[in-house]
Amino acid sequence: MIRPILKFGDQILHDAAKPVDGITPDIDRLVDDMIETMYAAPGIGLAAPQVGIPLRLFVVDLSVGRDPKGLIVMINPEFVERDGMQLEEEGCLSVPGFNATVVRPGRAVIKGLDRAGDPQQIEGTGLLARAFQHEMDHLDGTVFVDRLRGIKREMIVRRIRKLSRAGKW
């Protein structure tokens, strides 16, 4: 089932999420729905808070469903290592229509559970490291806009407020 994606300004997106207690049928259904929602958007990553569920869980697929091995489901993820730096344009399904250059690590290793509840550790470089950091941020209530400084952040927030007031957000 495709679930509605919350937009910047919805409180759930700005609060830290809680750990997943166990792989229950509800969690299994949530994972299926998140994958379907991510592919339909389409997007390369989606965190549970974006569909209104404040739990530490995200899905990433750089191939957007074209490569069956491309799908990563991460439950209760933690960083193991982060190093290097990259500067690239970034967007978010919760901030449609806006992009900005965000500083991210060049490499990120994360560990957590897969959807069967088994431990996994995955190393990401380039776009995958960026996606990991972006989704981990969602679990801590941080949207990429919050990573911007000064006038760039102000401009985006102001335009979102304006769209909100006009009922177009």
Give catalytic residues, as residue numbers.
Answer: 135
> Taking the complex as a whole, how short is the minimal distance between the CB of residue 92 and Zn ion, in angstroms?
3
Tokens of 164: 């909100």
**92 near Zn ion, judged by CB under 5 A:** yes
Contacts of 62 (CB under 8 A, 6+ apart): 44, 70, 127, 128, 131
Rounded to 5 degrees, what angle do the CA atoms 157, 132, 53 make?
65
> Taking the complex as a whole, how short is the minimal distance between the CB of residue 142 and Zn ion, in angstroms?
10
Place of tokens 């000064």: 150
Q: Which is nearer to Zn ion, 17 or 92 (CB)?
A: 92
By CB under 5 A, how many residues form the interface with Zn ion? 1
> Which of the stretches 34-42, 51-59, 90-98, 122-130 binds Zn ion when contact is defined by CB under 5 A?
90-98
**13 near Zn ion, judged by CB under 5 A:** no
Q: Which is nearer to Zn ion, 5 or 31 (CB)?
A: 5
> Which of the stretches 17-25, 86-94, 125-133, 146-154 binds Zn ion when contact is defined by CB under 5 A?
86-94
Site for Zn ion in 18-77 (CB under 5 A): none
> Which of the stretches 12-20, 74-82, 88-96, 161-169 binds Zn ion when contact is defined by CB under 5 A?
88-96
Residue with the CB atom nearest Zn ion in the bound state? 92
Q: 15, 16, 17, 22: which is closest to 113 by C-alpha?
A: 22
Q: 105, 106, 93, 109: which is closest to 6 by C-alpha?
A: 93
Q: For residue 71, how many C-alpha atoms fall within 13 Å in the half-sphere facing its CB? A: 14
Across 16-54, b (16+ Cβ under 10 Å) vs e yields ebeebeebeeebeebbebbbbbbbebebbbbbbbbbebb
Q: Which is nearer to Zn ion, 105 or 119 (CB)?
A: 105
CA dihedral 20, 24, 28, 33 (to 10 degrees): -70
> Taking the complex as a whole, how short is the minimal distance between the CB of residue 20 and Zn ion, in angstroms?
19
> Taking the complex as a whole, how short is the minimal distance between the CB of residue 43 and Zn ion, in angstroms?
8
Interaction site with Zn ion (CB under 5 A)? 92
